Amino acid sequence: MRLIYILLLNFFLLFNYSLQAQSLPITEEFFFQRFTIVNQMPERILSGRTLLFYSSSLTQKELERIQESFSTTGIDAVLAIAIEKLLGGHDVRKALFEAIQKREISNLVFVQKDQQEYRCTMTKFNQKFSFVNTLQPAWQLSKSALGELLLELGRDAQNALSKQNFLVNDQPETDLKISIIRGSRIESHSSDLRVDRLAVRLSDRVEDNEALKNELSSYPFKLEFVGDSISDAELRLKGFWYVLQSVHLPEKQALEILGYTLVKRPIKIVDEKSVYKFYFKKLEFDNVYLGKEWDAAANWQDALKNTLANLRKELNVR
């Protein structure tokens, strides 16, 4: 019995940490596997403040319709942010978490849209960098039409809970500014990588880990794979100077969050599909080394190949 308890505890810890720190951003599918679906809505959904995460496939008209319904129901969505930012990478999520610390958020609501249906998921905000815990209870409803979903959502909420939010924002804030670069922003690769060990965080997804190790077999200097539970501060204590990081966002957002719109350097954006971009971060000063080329790609394998090729080119490594 004791052995089973230890194994379950280790599983929960691994699953919980896997969202917190890894070199590859997690997928939307993997994130929603964390929930345990229940019949009860969060107890403060009609009395506390809510952070709305929405699919970028939703139109402006649909978002306005959602907010109007939430306002009538008593759901106080004070912030509305694209789900992509929550899943945009370790540094993006950390910056997002820090940016909402003074907003007194109690609830998280996710509204997704795909070709078949609309889906709404509601849960408590755990007040942590991970946003949700492993197997956290969540209420969920799916419908083929947005109107049907909002109608049933409102009816269920008003039947189960007492409305206490009467002064609800007409429009949630949508332009929350976050920055992932705390130190210097450098458009080149550091020659220190020749001598300093690079940390690369793995996840609990075996296939991704093996693929990541395979791609990094061409990295020309010293690197070490570490667990996903290790923080930047702990990496520094273990003697690491650099860590490999990445973002996964729509290309325009990736450019902005990495500071490219703040410098006089035109970059042609091909489309608004999400891209991966890798970079090296110096742990002691939080300096971000982006490389001389904008080498993002639609999948992480190509993005990493581009980064390694440009690293070799810049540092004259054959």
Write a three-state SS string for 55-123.
Answer: CCCCCHHHHHHHHHHHHHHCCEEEEEEEHHHHCCCHHHHHHHHHHCCCCCEEEEEEEEECCCCEEEEEE
Residue 299: what pLDDT? 95
Cα separations (Å) of 288 from 11, 187, 296?
33, 8, 15
pLDDT, tens only, 55-100: 989 999 999 999 999 999 999 999 999 999 999 998 999 999 999 9
**Contact (CB, 8 A) for 246 and 277:** yes
Whole-model pTM: value is 0.85
pLDDT, tens only, 1-60: 544 444 444 444 444 444 555 678 888 888 898 899 999 999 999 999 999 999 989 999
What average pLDDT is seen over the chain? 88
pLDDT band at residue 245 under the 50/70/90 scheme:
very high
**Contact (CB, 8 A) for 228 and 19:** no
User: 3-state secondary structure string, the chain?
Assistant: CHHHHHHHHHHHHHHHHHCCCCCCCCCHHHHHCCEEEECCCCCCCCCCEEEEEECCCCCHHHHHHHHHHHHHHCCEEEEEEEHHHHCCCHHHHHHHHHHCCCCCEEEEEEEEECCCCEEEEEEECCCCCCCCCCCEEEEEEEECCHHHHHHHHHHHHHHHCCCCCCCCCCCCECCCCCCCCCCCEECCCCHHHHCCCEEEECCCCHHHHHHHHHHHHHCCCCEEEECCCCCHHHHHHCCCCEEEEEEEEEHHHHHHHCCHHHCCCCCCCCCCCEEEEEEEEECCCCEEECCCCCCCECCHHHHHHHHHHHHHHHCCCC
CA separation for the pair 149, 16 (Å, rounded): 30
Q: Which domains does the chain have, with CATH numbers?
A: 34-160 (3.40.50), 185-314 (3.40.50)
Residue 310: what pLDDT? 97
Q: What is the mean pLDDT of residues 210-226?
A: 96
Cα separations (Å) of 80 from 100, 171, 176, 260?
12, 9, 9, 24
The residue written with tokens 């890894």 in the block is 22
